[in-house]
Structure 1
Amino acid sequence: MPIATVNPATGETLTTFDEFDHKEIDSRLARARWAFLDHRKTTYAYRAERMRRAADLLDAERDSIAATMTTEMGKTLAAARAEAAKCAKAMRWYAEHAEELLADEHPSAADIEDSGGTAAFVRYRPLGPVLAVMPWNFPLWQVVRFAAPALMAGNTALLKHASNVPQTALYLEDLFRRAGFPEGCFQTLLVGSAAIEGILRDPRVVAATLTGSEPAGRSVAAIAGDEIKKTVLELGGSDPFVVMPSADVARAAEVAVTARVQNNGQSCIAAKRFIVHADIFEDFAARFTEGMKALRVGDPMEETTDVGPLASKQGRADLERLVDEAVASGATVLCGGERPRHLRAGWFYEPTVLADVTPEMLIHREETFGPVATLYRVDSLGAAIELANDVPFGLSSNAWTEDQEEQERFIRDVEAGGVYFNGMTASHPAMPFGGIKRSGYGRELAGHGIREFCNVTTVWYGAKPGDGGPAAK
């Protein structure tokens, strides 16, 4: 795949970039290593000052970088602006909280005595240069939610971004440089996927994080495992959106529309399977379908557009394949199901609702990365949970119920990294994010995320430390 900006609203190639050669890659890996040796010694206050400056720059440049994101991958301009604002918020959050999240931890005096020591504590130390392999769907946020904690922890970062968002990738490198992070702390690598293995096997790279497809995650995990290097993977999702009789059906249907079509439906944590109790199924289905029909599909640069194009021609073809196979196998199209007739250019697809979906259909088990929802009718809480779990993924989940016993059942039994009640899944810097099953492993954000790429170091004293030794209080 060429490294290029191709406008998905028109199909026009706007600019292309040459891949880095081996010499340039080697130079950048060397810079990352040398930068780490200095960056790890800096104070939290030093890093926080630069992280806040990056946030300020991003806020000031929100409109221009939003336009770049929209041009490169098709999200609406309003969504792009919101993404930039969210990134600045996360930068400030880690600038504020990193030191306390990585503060030394102290066992009890009794446990220290039982260990035979006189003092002990746990210190979180940075690992080194971390490779981030990132996707195009949230081209700023996916990177920042890794980079902000990684840099605040004292690591350095190497970004291999998706090949269709090169200008956003280069902007991020420039942003951190202008914010005052020394050369080599954050670098973009303009390389194709074929270069990832060599970079990951290089001894100067100590760990990797990947957000993307299941095949990409398998590949990176296998290489890193062979090299015995830490990885964090956030892969696909087919999140359930369960609605029970005690729910506010009108509100649930309204939120369901946003939950399905956020980012033009191209989000791992977008709700994709809508599982509704039979007692309220007809009411919910009618409201949800009308909401999907009312969405305006069009130019993502226009403020009135609700749903823009898919990011690539292949992405639309993959979505069409799933819908067409489901319809041929007996699924009912409640709305959509085809390309918009008023848009001749670009990779658009109508917001679509399918009912009568069965487990035998491909669309039941594969992730639908676009504005297509599948609708299921169930007659009990147990059936709802069983269906929610009946996919290979386990990223997040949504459940609409006011019944506390039902809520406890969802928390206990739903196989996912998150359970969101009476709302939609959304990532926040203060809350850990990640999945189970084939949705990956490890966590991003919050304290869990910043500690993923730290050396959890046990420090133990068999004799009392001297006055000039490290603090163990």
Structure 2
Amino acid sequence: MTMIRCISPVDGSVYAERPAMGYEDAKALVDRARKAQKSWARRPLEERVSLVLKGVARLNEMADDVVKELAWQMGRPVRYGGEFKGFNERSNYMAEIAASSLAPIVVESSDRFERYIEREPHGVVFVIAPWNYPYMTAINTVAPALMAGNTVVLKHASQTLLVGERMVRAFVEAGVPEDVFLNIFLDHDTTSKLIAAGSFNFINFTGSVEGGRSIERAAAGTFTGIGLELGGKDPGYVMEDADLDAAVDTLMDGATYNSGQCCCGIERIYVHESLYDAFVEKSVAWVSNYKLGNPLDPETTLGPMANKRFAVTVRGQIDEALAKGAKALVDPKLFPTDDGGAYLAPQILVDVDHSMSIMNEETFGPAVGIMKVKSDAEALDLMNDCKYGLTVSLWTKDPVRAARLGRELETGTVFMNRADYLDPGLCWTGCKETGRGGSLSVIGFHNLTRPKSYHLKKAL
């Protein structure tokens, strides 16, 4: 029997383990979800929405356990209180727009014809969620999928093994039928086999580029709808008219919060030459104030990376950049708890360029490179010089200028004077190797349903 284990970054111990389900048992679980789907979809929309929100509320009641479990599983400090702000905001917003997003489009209602388009649930939605924000990334799909009348099978990353189990428990305790929302533990081979067999009607995957390719290969020829959010290398651009202190505060937080393990975290920064020196000086001071340590300690502001192998990648990018002439500005002596393993000190690099992996490959850790630029044109070329496209953070007092640049940027979301945020009213989407599809907003509902047209000719 294959065991799926969560190795805690806190101390390297096995924090949790569960047996991986074999193919026949997994297929039977998915069949249960399929059998439950039609009756769930026949329930009034208002009832489905209400039950989802009750599930969200029940999870909030488990906050003390959730926060501690997250610290043990992936290293986020308990002082930050989990992911409930974003989790609740996204759920509540999707509940507010459910009726309007799923309402029929009426083309004609006359004495001769009823012509309209309805949104119909896909059926069984498979959500493969990541470990970095395991509750928020999952709820992006789970909440609207259930509200729209789908049943959901949830598989979480091994690093956050207990999250899916706890989410399903909360929703079932709140009244969602057991077979409507199911958690599953699977290894990669069984996951691929289920997908290749056409077991699901829609798949949403958040994870690595290679993981996304594996999903697409497994689904080839099944015509299963797929939504993918994959890699990122999100840039910030600080223009000469930016609010310097606000830019430093937001971009440094975006680069290092959650130990830099954010899908839309800031991974590279371009600063106009007139502000460059001041921006770098203030950024180093900002980052140097972190306290790296055990995430269960309420004084800790920066926890370990989720796994020591992730820290190996970040250290490797830093070392490569230094060997090519970059300069590290954060004094490692300020972080004696950096143990060469999962506990990794934050770092700011200058004298960097795009020949260095720290500026062109996903880092997903608390390290960021900063480059000086002379113009919007130079910054635009550098921001687009990347195989990923999730978000861009522009810093200026001029929204017209920001929008003009935004139209030239190869990205999913353009922020002005903000970063590392997911607005549930807007479509969360990416381009290039960041993936395809979109979640949240009215478009999220549309991606989790299919259109069905009705052309009803009345008898005269």
* TM class, shorter-length: over 0.9
The letter for the 1-side match of 2:208 is S
Classify 1:318/1:346 alpha carbon distance in 2 versus 1 (closer, same or farther; 3 Å).
Answer: closer
Partners of 1:440 and 1:134 lie apart in 2 by: 15
Would the aligned equivalents of 1:339 and 1:349 in 2 still touch at CA under 8 Å? no
Matched, 1:215 2:216: no
Classify 1:233/1:374 alpha carbon distance in 2 versus 1 (closer, same or farther; 3 Å).
Answer: same
Classify 1:64/1:332 alpha carbon distance in 2 versus 1 (closer, same or farther; 3 Å).
Answer: same
Matched, 1:422 2:417: yes
Match of 1:192 among 168, 183, 187: 187
| 1:340 CA displacement | 4.1
Matched, 1:352 2:353: no
Partners of 1:344 and 1:271 lie apart in 2 by: 24
Partners of 1:456 and 1:337 lie apart in 2 by: 56
Partners of 2:346 and 2:8 lie apart in 1 by: 20
2:107 equivalent in structure 1? 107
Matched, 1:298 2:293: yes
| 1:343 CA displacement | 4.8
Match of 1:316 among 311, 315, 340: 311
1:464 equivalent in structure 2? 458
Would the aligned equivalents of 2:338 and 2:344 in 1 still touch at CA under 8 Å? no
1:397 equivalent in structure 2? 392
1:234 equivalent in structure 2? 229
SS of aligned partner of 1:151:
helix
| 1:67 CA displacement | 1.1
The letter for the 1-side match of 2:226 is T
| 1:451 CA displacement | 1.3
Q: Give me the TM-score of the superposition, normalised by structure 2.
A: 0.95
| 1:227 CA displacement | 1.3
The letter for the 1-side match of 2:10 is A
Partners of 1:428 and 1:82 lie apart in 2 by: 18
The letter for the 1-side match of 2:104 is D
Give matches, 1:26-37, under 5 Å.
26-37=27-38
Partners of 2:218 and 2:197 lie apart in 1 by: 11
Matched, 1:251 2:246: yes
Would the aligned equivalents of 1:58 and 1:88 in 2 still touch at CA under 8 Å? no
Partners of 1:465 and 1:43 lie apart in 2 by: 30
Q: Give me the TM-score of the superposition, normalised by structure 1.
A: 0.93
| 1:37 CA displacement | 1.9
Deviation larger for 406-415 or 210-219: 406-415
Matched, 1:448 2:443: yes
Deviation larger for 207-216 or 3-12: 3-12
2:96 equivalent in structure 1? 96
Deviations 1:285-309 (A, max 9, x none): 1101111111111111222222110
| 1:268 CA displacement | 1.4
Would the aligned equivalents of 1:123 and 1:457 in 2 still touch at CA under 8 Å? yes
Would the aligned equivalents of 1:55 and 1:89 in 2 still touch at CA under 8 Å? no
| 1:336 CA displacement | 5.1
Partners of 1:377 and 1:193 lie apart in 2 by: 43
| 1:14 CA displacement | 2.4
Give matches, 1:404-415, under 5 Å.
404-415=399-410
Unaligned runs of 5+ in 2: none
Deviation larger for 278-287 or 41-50: 41-50
| 1:322 CA displacement | 1.0
The letter for the 2-side match of 1:78 is R
Partners of 1:59 and 1:18 lie apart in 2 by: 27
1:25 equivalent in structure 2? 26
Aligned length: 459
1:471 equivalent in structure 2? none
1:470 equivalent in structure 2? none
Matched, 1:130 2:131: no
| 1:92 CA displacement | 2.7
Give matches, 1:356-371, under 5 Å.
356-371=351-366
Would the aligned equivalents of 2:79 and 2:301 in 1 still touch at CA under 8 Å? no
Partners of 2:309 and 2:339 lie apart in 1 by: 17
| 1:151 CA displacement | 0.2
Would the aligned equivalents of 2:58 and 2:171 in 1 still touch at CA under 8 Å? no
Deviation larger for 86-95 or 349-358: 86-95
| 1:345 CA displacement | 8.4
2:79 equivalent in structure 1? 78
SS of aligned partner of 1:246:
coil
The letter for the 2-side match of 1:8 is P
| 1:346 CA displacement | 5.6
Would the aligned equivalents of 1:296 and 1:304 in 2 still touch at CA under 8 Å? yes
| 1:5 CA displacement | 2.8
Classify 1:343/1:405 alpha carbon distance in 2 versus 1 (closer, same or farther; 3 Å).
Answer: closer
Partners of 2:346 and 2:432 lie apart in 1 by: 28
Classify 1:14/1:404 alpha carbon distance in 2 versus 1 (closer, same or farther; 3 Å).
Answer: closer
Matched, 1:385 2:375: no
Would the aligned equivalents of 1:338 and 1:349 in 2 still touch at CA under 8 Å? no
1:43 equivalent in structure 2? 44
The letter for the 2-side match of 1:86 is G
| 1:331 CA displacement | 0.9
